[in-house]
């Protein structure tokens, strides 16, 4: 049983807006709102930018409920109404609004919902000229819901217009990074990844870059060891697209695909390297971190290498000691530690 998130509950209590309409849910939550809306709507299509959210809903797909994962829909279908869940990254919102406009019929309604503290109030200033002014319709469950109407054709989306590209000097050589809006470390190299790059091990064979983001670690690895076979996994659709763009910009290749944890990876690895994306608070990070260490130990070949960088306060030591039998800290500063199994 999946409990509806607060934003989803607010959408459901305003389902009168959706009666007998063809609906697109954009950037939806990890719940079954799309299924519940079938009591009101004619047809629901759901596009998740988070792979975990997609996996929650996918088992319920049917003729009336179509599910997708990615940064765009695979077709040009248009809808009577788009329900947009305001993203945690404010810089991603204009992209999603543009995407919503492309898939709305002229005169169609855009519903934007988000948590009060999540930046959704900015929608009144972020609404482009091809929509009319956004109006607040509801305030409940610590969330706000706005509506607006498509009044002109939305511009086509070209990903290159939404990317920040920059050159980066690393110990492995200069590389080009392509960061799409909403991707971690969008405008500069974060301190944790910097520390890891300064202490990259010598690797060979098949390597997993877990939580690959824009592909910084992968490209640095391939710069130093061009013959590596690298798998890049992430849960975020924009991150995966960024990683692919970064690889192209550096004339490199790797296997890029979504994975919820290590569940969608196959086979064994000679190395696992990561700046793990655990930023949801200490309680949830503890559970996720423990699972990641456990799954990593199971996925490594004998004598395989495991290297990660993490915030000093995250509780890795106990899990590493349990599953790798020893804890090695190969580098650290006042904010981060680099852990290794060798």
Nearest to residue 112, comparing CAs of 97, 101, 99?
A: 97
Give the pLDDT of residue 299.
97
In whole angstroms, give the CA distance from residue 206 to residue 340.
17
Range in 97-111, 272-286, 327-341 with the lowest mean pLDDT: 272-286
Instruction: Report the pLDDT value the prediction gives residue 166, as an integer from 0 to 100.
Output: 92
Q: Of how many residues is the chain composed?
A: 342
What CA–CA distance (Å, rounded) separates 281 from 161?
33
Cβ-Cβ contacts under 8 Å for 333 (sequence gap 6 or more): 191, 195
Q: Do the beta carbons of residue 291 and residue 259 sit within 8 Å?
A: no
Could you give phi then psi for residue 86, rounded to 5 degrees? -60, 130
pLDDT of 281 strictly over 50:
no
> Which has more pLDDT, 342 or 264?
264
Cα–Cα distance measured from residue 42 to residue 46, given in angstroms and rounded to the nearest whole number: 13
The pLDDT score that the predictor gives to residue 185 is 72
pLDDT in tens, 157-176: 999 999 999 999 999 999 99
| Chain segment 184-204, per-residue pLDDT in tens | 776 678 889 999 999 998 999
Average pLDDT for the chain = 93
pLDDT band at 151 (very low <50, low <70, confident <90, very high): very high
Q: Give me the mean pLDDT over the 29-42 stretch.
A: 97
**What whole-number distance in Å separates Cα of residue 265 and Cα of residue 145?**
38
Give 249: exposed, middle or buried? Use CB within 10 Å, 0-12, 13-18, 19+.
middle
The stretch 36-48 carries a mean pLDDT of 97
Residue 56: both structure tokens together: 């929650």
Domains of the chain: 6-149 (3.40.50.150), 160-340 (3.40.50.150)
Query: Tokens 């759901």 correspond to what residue?
Result: 46
**pLDDT at 304 exceeding the cut of 90:** yes
Specify the pLDDT at position 282.
35
pLDDT at 313 over 90: no
Q: Which of 98, 76, 77 is nearest to 153 (CA)?
A: 98
């Amino acid at each position: 049983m999946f409990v509806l998130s607060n934003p989803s509950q607010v959408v459901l209590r305003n389902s009168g807006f959706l009666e007998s309409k063809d609906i697109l849910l954009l950037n939806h939550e990890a719940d079954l709102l799309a299924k519940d809306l079938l009591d009101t709507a004619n047809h629901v299509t759901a596009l998740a930018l988070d792979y975990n959210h997609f996996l929650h809903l996918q088992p319920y797909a049917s003729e009336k409920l179509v599910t997708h994962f990615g940064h765009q829909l695979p077709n040009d279908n248009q809808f009577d109404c788009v329900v947009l869940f305001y993203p945690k990254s404010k810089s991603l919102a204009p992209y999603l609004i543009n995407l919503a406009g492309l898939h709305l019929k002229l005169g169609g309604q855009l519903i934007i919902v988000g948590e009060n503290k999540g930046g959704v109030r900015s929608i009144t200033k972020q609404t482009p000229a091809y929509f009319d002014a956004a109006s607040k319709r509801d305030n409940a469950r610590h969330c706000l819901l706005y509506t607006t109407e498509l009044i002109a054709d939305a511009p086509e989306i070209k990903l290159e217009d939404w990317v920040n590209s920059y050159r980066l000097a690393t110990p492995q050589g200069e590389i080009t990074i392509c960061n799409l809006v909403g991707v971690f470390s969008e405008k500069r190299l974060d301190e944790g990844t910097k520390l890891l790059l300064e202490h990259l091990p010598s690797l060979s064979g098949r390597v997993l870059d877990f939580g690959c983001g824009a592909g910084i670690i992968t490209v640095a690895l391939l710069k130093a060891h061009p013959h590596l076979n690298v798998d890049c996994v992430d849960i975020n659709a924009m991150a995966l697209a960024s990683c692919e763009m970064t690889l192209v910009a550096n004339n490199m290749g790797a296997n890029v695909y979504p994975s919820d944890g290590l569940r969608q990876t196959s086979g064994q690895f000679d190395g696992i390297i990561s700046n793990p994306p655990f930023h949801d608070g200490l309680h949830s990070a503890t559970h996720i971190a423990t699972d990641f260490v456990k799954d990593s130990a199971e996925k490594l070949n004998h004598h395989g290498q495991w290297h990660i960088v993490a915030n000093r306060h995250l509780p890795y030591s106990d899990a590493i000691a349990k599953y790798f039998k020893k804890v090695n800290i190969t580098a650290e500063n006042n904010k981060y530690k680099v852990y290794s199994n060798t």
